[in-house]
Chain A
Amino acid sequence: MSLPFYVSPEQVMQDKAEFARKGIGRGKSSITVEYDGGIVLMAENASSLSKIGEIYDRIAFAGVGKFMEFDQLRKIGVRYADMKGYQYSRDDVRARALANAYSQAIGDVFTRELKPLEVEVIVAEVGDPGLADHEQCEIYRIQYDGSISDHRGFCVIGGSEEELRSQLSSGYRPDLPLGEVLRLGHRVLGRAVEGKTAVASENLEVCVLENARIGRKFRRLDTDELRQHLSG
């Protein structure tokens, strides 16, 4: 039996992080932006496999990276939320607790497993003006190593994140109407692809958390509706 080579923990972590970053960097980006009636989640996605999903009444999920991995995360998020809502009440299901649970689970895989998860996820929760202490929207980003951050206004994950973030921050203002946010998001996501100026609207996956809706706030926009907004 040969003795395994010694590798320093710093080196292991660096290698893992680099591996995960590479995997995520190859994929497309996803953006989450607040607007005057809630939150928009947009992703460039030509396939019919969803990158954005509903978690609970006021909570949505977006993932980038390896589909298999973030879709599994989405599902355990739904199980977590439904279980919690069943056990306590629907108002007790909150994004912050879910984001923390994601952070724990993803961080756990990063330290314990040989291969880290090649994903980044967003947990977004639309605020409710009628609910004390909960008027603001909340956007959490959880990275491949489990590090968690909260964001005001907007957040970009995946792909050419830094470039997109600077473009989005130059165009973003609080309380924009839905149509303007969608056009802004379309422009920003479109520039991420080299050589192309825009993404075709049928290759955009767009979901909203609409505050005005009763009960479940999550809604998926179909291509026709999106096209109307983009041309308007």
Chain B
Amino acid sequence: MRFPGLGSGRGGERGGYDGSSFSELLQLDHPHLAFDLGRYGNLERLNVPHGTTVLAFKYADGVIVAGDRLATEGMRVASRDVEKVYATDDHSMIAIAGAAGPAIEMARIMRIELEHYEKIEGQALELDGKANKLSQMIRANLPAAMQGLVVVPLFAGFDLRRKQGRMWKFDVTGGRYEEAEFEATGSGGLYARESLKKSHHARASKREALEMAVQALTDAADEDRGTGGIDTVRGIFPTVIYCSEPGIEQTPATEIREVYEFILARRANERAGVTS
């Protein structure tokens, strides 16, 4: 049974898609709306905005995900305040790097996907199930990735069954790798990882975790021209989202500013101490 006037005719006499997945519904019943950039030939020379540095790591209560706000088009700034970290439901989030258009679209579909499944089935997916679904969506994007629009997100959340924060990184083929401590990706990912390697410890409090995140993003922005630093003049701060057992919690800009100023002051003091 389906509503008349809704959707393409592909379902036709057979009836429409009858499963619990929104992305499959989109592909099977509404292919004209589906997210398939692979059919447009080589897109490598297309100058589209790219997102840069995102990171995720575990702290005492769960997992934290953060990202800078810059999007670049080649050597130019495309946007200074793009969002790259999204809550996908109450206990999971996605951080995107790579071609911003398809990546943001993927984050959006992922969010609808989780809600759709929950409503149809009357029960939310397990965190493993969510990560697996995302990996299938990345694999479906492979044709577009082969033509230059690579999307490689980080996925993290709180596993309510195991009572712990968990996170995954992905490759373009949909390969899914769970990380035990921390991970960063995007153009400044390497530098953020180097920074986290020295500062990260899994028992960190919320405040310590925020410090590590801001420090890692500042270090990445220091080395990588594609990563946006903190802009106190324009009031542009990174997105930082905590996820623990009670759910998702976004860090207010005032708190990030305070931590950033604290880090700068500490660095200035250290320098003064060394030289004097």
Taking beta carbons and an 8 Å cutoff, which residues of A are in contact with B? Answer: 50, 53-55, 72-73, 75-76, 78-80, 82-83, 85-87, 101-102, 104-105, 108-109, 216
Residue of B nearest to A73 (CB): B1
Which residues of B are found within 8 Å of A108, using beta-carbon distances? Answer: 4
B112 interface contact, C-beta 8 A: yes
Q: Are A72 and B22 within 8 A (Cβ)?
A: no
Measured CA separation A55–B120 after assembly (Å)? 9
Which residues of B are found within 8 Å of A75, using beta-carbon distances? Answer: 18, 120
Q: Are A53 and B3 within 8 A (Cβ)?
A: no
Taking beta carbons and an 8 Å cutoff, which residues of B are in contact with A? Answer: 1-7, 16-18, 22, 25-26, 30, 33, 108-109, 112, 115-116, 119-120, 122
Cβ-defined partner of B112 (8 Å) among A54, A82, A105? A82
- B interface, over-half SS: loop
Q: A86-B109, A105-B1, A108-B4 given. 12 additional CB < 8 A pairs?
A: A50-B122, A75-B18, A76-B1, A78-B116, A80-B6, A82-B116, A83-B6, A87-B33, A101-B3, A101-B4, A104-B3, A104-B4
Q: Are A80 and B3 within 8 A (Cβ)?
A: yes
Which residues of B are found within 8 Å of A109, using beta-carbon distances? Answer: 1
* B193 CB, nearest partner CB in chain A, Å: 33
Measured CA separation A109–B1 after assembly (Å)? 9
Cβ-defined partner of A105 (8 Å) among B2, B17, B26, B109? B2
Which residues of B are found within 8 Å of A76, using beta-carbon distances? Answer: 1-3, 16
Contacts A86-B33, A86-B112 hold; do A54 and B2 have CB atoms under 8 A apart?
no
Cβ-defined partner of B30 (8 Å) among A50, A53, A83? A83
Q: Are B119 and A54 within 8 A (Cβ)?
A: yes
Q: Are A105 and B3 within 8 A (Cβ)?
A: yes
Which residues of B are found within 8 Å of A79, using beta-carbon distances? Answer: 16-17, 25, 116, 120
Scoring A72, A78, A108, A216 by chain B CB atoms within 10 A of each residue's CB, the highest score goes to A78
Scoring A82, A102, A109 by chain B CB atoms within 10 A of each residue's CB, the highest score goes to A82
Scoring B4, B16, B119 by chain A CB atoms within 10 A of each residue's CB, the highest score goes to B119
